[in-house]
Structure 1
């Protein structure tokens, strides 16, 4: 019997396709962007995604458009016991190129997604995000997630996976959270991928660059002799379709690619849009190839105007990485392979844990004693400052003159009816990506 998945923030289907190839059937998918919803529906119609209720494919009922955190959109208790709850919740709250607002970013849904486990009680949880979430800035956030899942009876781990190890011709690290009940998680093994170098950009795109008879393609392939930098779908707040910030554009230029936009066709170009000194531009089809959509196995259809198609592709989870994770999760749920000894305690932020366990005011000296760590006072205070970006931290001066700190509450949206996120989504849905 096939395993079933409910996917939130599904985007254009990179994760959906990978899970489909790993043997999962979709019960339901939620997505805010209308063009991405159309993409999902079209590819289900083409049978690139398998749906649990085939009768829902033609009328598109298996895809729900809207804010998944809206109670009128998402009723989690209808899916209690699903095999897998998966999603790629918004990245801007954690991206290194952004402000890293974390829990105070109105677009943040990571903590909310974790809270759905309390109702859905899935056999497994899979959430992916950008590498920024793995940085020291978010130690406390990650610890909160692990501790909360443990309270709900789940074992969880984070892992940074590199798409290039799964055959994707791109430098694309993704930070992944997997959680299961301990008796299932004991069989989970993180996919390791391969140490072999994936094909270069030139090797990957040669046929697409040559499809209009461009005479310079062989020289271009020689120059494009490395994998691509991270493809950036970009925020809906800013600009059109280009391949990323200044550093990324320099990396693309070294590969002979003009990163200042996306073209409609392969070269040679007309005089109205000539090739620049940097080289040819990529098309959406080329970007999809670099993102891991393997044209030899299947043809994926992206809907909407060019900028939307590019963003759908650029923000996607590479299908080969999603497939590897889906296979690993499926094997664990079937108790295949060797059972491992679980680590019972995963510590990402000992300062956070000390404050949380105490539930009262603590001095720096008391925090170090509770956490069993030796750090300088300024280092402890720096960590508390980082924590205060995601958690309310109360501070008092004791009679001795020492400062004491108390962890009050998590600032993140976890479903509160009065949270400012509701107004943000109502008035600025077009800026959420």
Structure 2
């Protein structure tokens, strides 16, 4: 009986497309899925993946150009996972606004023909999963999945309900072969209040002797707004649009830029609600707000490093989704190696 239980805890396999900085792949690794191949079309993202996991098989290519016939190791994997670029909010009304993003969704679903995974996981805009305006897009996806013999579930997860100090909603599509979808249960939210920004970043703010760290952390008593990576083609790093910047300002954080280092003994801070002297976050601190472990490194310049962080799927969300898919496939949660 023990031997049978251990065999069911075996490591499973996955193909990760549009892998980015590896947030989804890292979470799935923690849930017991080892990637046979990861692909992304950005050199800096591929560099990040190789930097952190030298043993991963990373392919720098566009999803639209990927031919599974040339990579037979991806055939019959347990999971095809895609952390795809977000469909624009206007796409349901004007599809041309998100032509590229929609083509990537279509390419992912068509990839099912050549890969034949046991399960599919697609993460995208929350509205794509639930809003009536996106029904035509969902119907096209669902029709192709049904043709291939997969049944599906659409739902929304919020990262703040899975150990991430950030109000970040994500639309999720899970599809499984045959009737296995009846055994799929979306991740259950954590019990208790979510982690706050102050709790997550307080120790790092104090790391270089900043005398205001404890006071700042005490008033940063809420979750962060959604981190936004922004355009790869223009602008520098900032924490989001105007509404997000106002939310950050209420926590006395300057959301208009990203710092090179945490504050030190000589740095000032104005706790007044209308004060202009606010603290700035580093790329490493934003990564912590995404749930990345402290030892996960990001390649590139500060702007490119932050872009990768902002566009990533939080690893704890990836882990929760991976565990839910494992359970539907008949595998209990794996034992985590020490250090995870």
TM range (shorter): 0.7 to 0.9
Over residues 395-418 of structure 1, what are the superposed CA-to-partner deviations in whole Å (9 max), with x where a residue is unaligned? xxxxxxxxxxxxxxxxxxxxxxxx
Unmatched tracts of structure 2, length 5 or more: 1-9, 334-340
Larger Rg: 1
Partner of 1:412: none
Change over 3 Å in CA distance of 1:309–1:174 after alignment to 2: same
Q: Distance in 2 between matches of 1:70 and 1:221?
A: 47
For each residue in 1:270-302, what CA deviation from the matched residue of structure 2 results, as whole angstroms up to 9, or x when unmatched? 79x99881511100110011001244xxx1111
Contact 2:40 2:46 in 1 (8 A): yes
Q: Residue in 1 aligned with 2:121?
A: 126
Matches within 5 A, 1:54-203: 57=55, 62-71=57-66, 75=70, 79-91=74-86, 93-95=87-89, 101=95, 105-108=99-102, 109-134=104-129, 135-203=131-199
CA RMSD, 1 decimal: 2.6
- The alpha-carbon deviation at position 321 of structure 1 amounts to 0.7
Pick the aligned partner of 1:305 from 301, 314, 332: 301
The alpha carbon displacement at 1:131 in A equals 1.7
Q: Which moved more, 1:7-16 or 1:193-202?
A: 193-202
Q: Is the 2:225–2:247 Cα contact (8 Å) retained in structure 1? A: yes
Instruction: Report the alpha carbon displacement of residue 144 of structure 1 after superposing the two structures with TM.
Output: 1.5
Structure 2 match to 1:11: 20
- Number of residue equivalences: 318
Aligned to 1:192, the other structure's residue is in SS state: coil
Query: In the TM superposition, what is the alpha-carbon distance from 1:335 to its structure 2 partner?
Result: 6.1
**Equivalent runs, 1:196-235 vs 2, <5 Å:** 196-235=192-231
Corresponding residue for 2:290? 291
CA positional deviation for 1:132: 3.4
TM-score (norm 1): 0.68
19, 22, 42: which one aligns with 2:51: 42
Larger mean CA deviation between 255-264 and 140-149 belongs to 140-149
Q: CA deviation at 1:184?
A: 2.3
Aligned to 1:398: none
Change (3 A) 1:265 1:100: farther
SS in 2 for 1:105: helix
Aligned residue in 2 for 1:32: 41
2:208/2:265 contact within 8 Å kept: no
Q: Deviations over 1:369-408 (max 9, x none)?
A: xxxxxxxxxxxxxxxxxxxxxxxxxxxxxxxxxxxxxxxx
Do the aligned residues in 1 keep the contact of 2:142 with 2:152 (CA within 8 Å)? yes
**Partner residue, 1:323:** 319
